[in-house]
């Protein structure tokens, strides 16, 4: 890692750009934990291969001031309720679920084109002020846009707040539509996994997911799903590209089918789950739309309790939803 790489990493989390009491986006926390927690034998991406002790301290302090600044309620009260799944007919396996999704994708009905933009609606750690009875969950839009010259921006905008049941909680600051964070990349500053639109082939997608996760051997299910999350955080993919991604997921050992449910904006989805090799206390889930076959969500939950954060087993630690650009409150 060069000094310039380190400076860019720190600028992305510069507290001068973000209020000290603002929650740290879970995507940022996930990337930091990947940096700090990867086993030493795994191949790392060159840009995050190592960090000085001082840099690690800065990153940890950023997490503490962003994620753990929780007045009032313990962390165990600050995670949304898990999704409840309905089991599929007996004998339905992951291969069948993915084949059905790919059949829908082959119709190309979504009309979504590939582009250098990633728009997601996600949940970020929040807290109940003064021990209020109902914990409030802060949703945020994260809108990444970047250009062929690797300039771009990430704009984070407050969305509606909800309670644990997902019901909207009105009159919560910041108001929906408030820009709560903005980062700018100058030319050649942004470093995507794939500079050009990813080829719609399983081999091309497998190579990108391998780079994203640093895995040196075959991708297992959890690693493949984490890689999909990373790629979806940088690109809007068309139906053919998503179908190729699902080919890689289908080949990954350890993939589990959770059943059908409604995601956190009311869309019917089917869940596919796996455990990442670099984070064995984490169960991650990819959500596929039963209407379009597209990848529309990602969730991460604890398998066992995390005593450091006072989070019980099963606590949700992240969710991100895609294909949400048609919502009335979506950034334009």
pLDDT digits (tens, 9 = 90+) for 281-297: 999 999 999 999 999 99
In total, how many domains does the chain have?
1
Q: If we measure between CA atoms, which residue out of 270, 320, 265 comes closest to residue 291?
A: 270
Does the residue 275 lie in any domain?
Answer: yes
Mean pLDDT throughout 46-69? Answer: 28
Q: Is residue 223 part of a domain?
A: yes
* Percentage of the residues of the chain whose pLDDT score is greater than 70: 73
Q: Does position 92 have pLDDT exceeding 90, yes or no? A: yes
Q: Is residue 219 one of the residues assigned to a domain?
A: yes
For residue 193, being part of any structural domain is answered with: no
Residue range(s) defining the domain that contains residue 203: 77-113+199-321
Q: Measuring CA to CA, how many Å separate 258 from each of 85, 142, 329?
A: 6, 27, 30
Question: Residue 106 domain-assigned?
Answer: yes
Q: What is the pTM of this model?
A: 0.78
Instruction: Locate 93 and state its tokens.
Output: 């396996």
Is residue 44 predicted with pLDDT exceeding 90? no
251 within some domain: yes
Tens digit of pLDDT for each residue in 132-179? Answer: 445 678 889 999 999 999 999 999 999 998 887 788 888 888 899 999
Q: 259 near 277, Cβ under 8 Å?
A: no
The reply to whether 21 falls in a domain is: no
Give me the chain's average pLDDT, please. 78
Which residues touch 264 (CB under 8 Å, ≥6 apart)? 80, 83, 123, 166, 297, 319, 321
- Residue 176 included in any domain: no
Residues 6+ apart with CB under 8 A from 119: 141, 142, 143, 144, 236, 322, 324, 325, 330, 331
């Amino acid at each position: 890692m060069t000094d310039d790489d380190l400076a860019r990493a720190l600028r992305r989390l510069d507290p001068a750009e973000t209020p000290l009491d603002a929650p740290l986006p879970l995507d940022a926390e996930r990337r930091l934990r990947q940096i700090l927690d990867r086993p030493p034998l795994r191949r790392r991406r060159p840009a995050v291969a190592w960090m000085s002790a001082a840099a690690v301290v800065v990153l940890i302090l950023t997490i503490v001031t962003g994620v753990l600044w929780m007045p009032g309620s313990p962390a165990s009260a600050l995670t949304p309720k898990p999704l409840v799944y309905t089991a599929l007919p007996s004998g339905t396996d992951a291969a069948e679920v993915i084949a059905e999704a790919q059949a829908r994708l082959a119709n190309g009905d979504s009309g979504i084109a590939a582009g250098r933009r990633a728009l997601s609606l996600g949940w970020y750690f929040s807290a109940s002020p003064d021990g209020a009875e109902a914990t409030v969950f802060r949703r945020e839009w994260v809108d990444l846009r970047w250009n062929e010259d690797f300039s771009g921006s990430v704009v984070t905008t407050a969305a509606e707040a909800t309670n644990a049941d997902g019901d909207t909680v009105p009159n919560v600051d910041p108001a929906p539509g408030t820009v709560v964070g903005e980062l700018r990349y100058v030319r050649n500053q942004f470093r995507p996994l794939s500079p050009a639109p990813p080829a719609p082939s399983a081999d091309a997608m497998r190579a990108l997911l391998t780079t994203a996760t640093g895995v040196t051997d075959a991708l297992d299910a959890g690693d493949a799903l984490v890689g999909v999350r990373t790629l979806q955080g940088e690109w809007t993919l068309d139906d053919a590209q998503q179908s190729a991604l699902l080919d890689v997921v289908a080949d990954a050992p350890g993939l589990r089918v959770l059943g059908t449910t409604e995601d956190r904006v009311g869309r019917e989805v089917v869940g596919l789950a796996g455990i990442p090799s670099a984070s064995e206390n984490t169960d991650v889930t990819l959500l596929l739309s039963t209407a379009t076959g597209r990848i529309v969500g990602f969730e991460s939950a604890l398998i066992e309790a995390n005593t450091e954060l006072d989070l019980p087993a099963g606590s949700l630690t992240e969710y991100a939803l895609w294909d949400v650009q048609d919502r009335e409150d979506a950034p334009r």
